[in-house]
Amino acid sequence: MSIPGLGQIAPTAVQTTTSAAVSPTTTQSLEPFWEYRFEVAHGSTLNIKLVSGTAEKDGTELAPSTPYAFTATKTRINTWHGCTLEISSEPGAVYDAYTSEPTADETPMVSYVNLHFKLDGLRATAERTGQMGPRVLVIGPPNSGKTSLVRMLTGWATRVGRQPLVVNADCREGMLALPGTLSAAVFATIIDPTSEWGSTPSSGPSPVPVKLPLAYYYGMASPDDNPRFFKRLLSRLAVASTSRLTEDPGVKTSGMLIDSGGVNAKGGYDHIAHIVAEFSVNIVLVVGSERVGSEMQKRFAGQQTSLGETITVVGLDKSGGVVERDAGFMQQVREAAIREYFFGSSKTTLSPFTQQMDFAALSMWKVNQAPTASDEDSYSEAIEKAEPSLMMQNCTLAVMYATVHDTAETIRDSNVMGFVYVAEVDEKRRKLKVLAPVSARLGDRPLLWGSWPEPMVSLVG
């Protein structure tokens, strides 16, 4: 598969804006293929409105004369034909922005959209023949723009009537679920441009249709913390995803788009090979690393999927607009996701419920790191029974789709019903104060406690 138009963005002009005490409304005109790149700090909001022309964010087209509020993000808005944006912020808001002015020959966005057209051609062929659409895995080093590319391909696919099944195989970040989960969802409608992936049913009413994710709880920051457990959950997610493709003709011909965690030349290839095998991936996109691309070419040379298709590896340049998200910023992103899950966003306010629970009324389980034993039976130790303790305070727990009478293996392999937050632990009275998005009996479901995301002290004041 040949993707023309590859090339690194070379900005020819830079305009930097940092808000002052008073931030008047300004306009920004973009020529074809230009991008407006901006970073908005946590607690600040940047409002952008499309005045004329056409523009999009991550493949989702902006509606004209509609203000979009961006907060706690590092992203961009691009245009293919030129546009004018109206930009404003509240006094005291902190943000940086600049305009990148590449030509069609300089921007990798051309190669990205060419890739979309190629994938849509494969989907059209699958529709005619009744076969399965392309299953695409996006890999690359950390901070190479993998997730942004998956969102772009998803946005473009939904705009032409496709319904891709999007899979998140990155346990450090969540997709329509909290970090620490592996999830999948069908995208048949547009994504809210002001959010990463859109809204979930727990987010309350939304003008953009919500997506219904299937999530499995891993509860650790790295696949290497318990490789066998991680692969087990990926296999469970693959079975569920493949079943959805089989049952829904529209999803079947649209195929899958799979986002992965960062890999580099030092390792991570074992998990990639597992994803390729379990999801029958036939296209591997490598973003931002020739070395990783070369390794993938060698690893999958001559290999075929379970459907007898050749595995194709395609290298893509990363966008010049990709910026590094440091550990502090990403921690704030995780905390914002937890806060929004329970309390909503600036657009929708939610009212979570507080419950007092007896220790004895709860079925509590803990996710373990990789067992030290090498025998096969050690895998059953991926989770173990746990007694509520002060260590759980300020942690989020996964509520599992299982019963308290199920075995450890059944609970371990179950998908997630929702999450609760442990606000207070009273070991003397043996009581737990829990914050939940709905008023329901928690004693009927097992709760799974992991180390990721990390405890959040500031959720309940």
Please enumerate, by residue number, every residue annotated as part of a binding site for ATP. 35, 74, 143-148
Q: How far apart are the first and last CA of the chain?
A: 54
Closest to 221 (Cα-Cα) out of 172, 265, 166 = 172
Both tokens of 54, joined, read 């056409």
Task: Give the span between the Cα atoms of 315 and 30, in whole angstroms.
Answer: 29
Do the bridges between strand 181-186 and strand 363-367 make them parallel or antiparallel, or are there none, so unpaired? Answer: unpaired
Residue 152 carries which DSSP code?
A: H
Look at residue 459 and give its three-state secondary structure: coil
- Burial of residue 423, with CB atoms counted within 10 A of its CB: 0-12 exposed, 13-18 middle, 19 or more buried: middle
> Helix %, strand %, coil % for the chain, to 5?
30, 30, 45
Binding positions = 35, 74, 143-148
Cα 220-224-229 angle, rounded to 5 deg: 65
Task: Give the span between the Cα atoms of 163 and 211, in whole angstroms.
Answer: 12
Task: Give the span between the Cα atoms of 326 and 161, in whole angstroms.
Answer: 36
Q: How many helices (H) and strands (E) does the chain have?
A: 8, 23
Both tokens of 391, joined, read 């260590």
β partners of residue 215: 183
Closest to 420 (Cα-Cα) out of 403, 402, 387, 445 = 445
For residue 374, give every residue at least 6 positions away whose Cβ sits within 8 Å of its Cβ, in sequence order, or none.
Answer: none
- Element of type H or E holding 75: strand 73-78
Both tokens of 148, joined, read 């942004």
- Element of type H or E holding 339: helix 327-343
Give the DSSP letter string of 369-413: ---S--SGGGGGGGEEE----GGGTT-EEEEESS-TTS-HHHHHH
